[in-house]
């Protein structure tokens, strides 16, 4: 027997909103719970997840934070958020490299990502309906060896079908 449960609202913690253009997939409730959990409800939102000229690799001479479980928990939750917010993938990738030796500057950067998410909790991936344009568009970027520790480049791409994001990846 099949039962109609109505329109999809939530799936695996992802909120599905019907909008005029199609569907918006976000994790609004998850962001707000996370911001509340780490005590940042009263903080001012950040405009970007990371400053342009900031390098998370510079914190190597700092002391490692005492309670690194907080950092590990936060970064793990940020990794899950990249499902609907690919714009934070780069900074979360950088933060995840310091899971076993995070410093105060890494924790501050992780909190900055939370403040960035606070500024736009309803943002997510939009899947457009009624596409008239079936053209593929791809964008690619690389930082050409900016990581001074590993001497590796980080590159990423995103692919659109019409106006809908269908694939993205970043790789070291």
Does any domain span residue 160? no
Does any domain span residue 154? no
CB 41 within 8 A of CB 35: yes
Does any domain span residue 70? yes
Does any domain span residue 150? no
Does any domain span residue 93? yes
Range of 77's domain? 10-133
The tokens for 146 are 């900016």
pLDDT band at 62 (very low <50, low <70, confident <90, very high): confident
DSSP 49: S
Number of domains in the chain: 1
Q: What is the pLDDT of residues 63-97, one digit of tens each?
A: 888 888 999 999 999 999 998 898 888 889 889 98
Does any domain span residue 142? no
Whether residue 59 is predicted with pLDDT greater than 60 in this model: the reply is no
Does any domain span residue 172? no
Q: What is the pLDDT of residues 105-156, one digit of tens each?
A: 899 999 999 999 998 888 888 888 877 778 899 999 887 766 666 677 778 8
Q: Residue 116: its pLDDT value, please?
A: 93
CA atoms within 13 A on the CB side of 166: 12
Does any domain span residue 46? yes
CB 145 within 8 A of CB 48: no
pTM (2 d.p.) = 0.79
């Amino acid at each position: 027997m099949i039962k109609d449960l109505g329109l999809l609202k939530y799936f695996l913690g992802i909120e599905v909103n019907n909008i005029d253009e199609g569907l918006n997939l976000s994790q609004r409730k998850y962001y707000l719970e996370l911001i509340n959990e780490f005590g940042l409800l009263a903080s001012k939102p950040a405009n970007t997840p990371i400053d342009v000229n900031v390098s998370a690799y510079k914190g190597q001479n700092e002391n490692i934070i005492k309670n690194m479980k907080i950092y590990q928990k936060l970064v793990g939750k940020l990794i899950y958020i990249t499902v609907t917010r690919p714009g934070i993938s780069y900074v979360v990738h950088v933060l995840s490299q310091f899971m076993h030796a995070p410093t105060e500057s890494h924790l501050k950067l992780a909190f900055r990502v939370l403040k960035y998410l606070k500024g736009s909790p309803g943002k997510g991936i939009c899947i457009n309906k009624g596409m008239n344009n079936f053209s593929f568009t791809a964008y690619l970027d690389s930082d050409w060896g900016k990581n001074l520790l590993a001497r590796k480049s980080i590159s990423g791409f995103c692919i659109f079908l019409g106006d809908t994001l269908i694939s993205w990846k970043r790789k070291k």
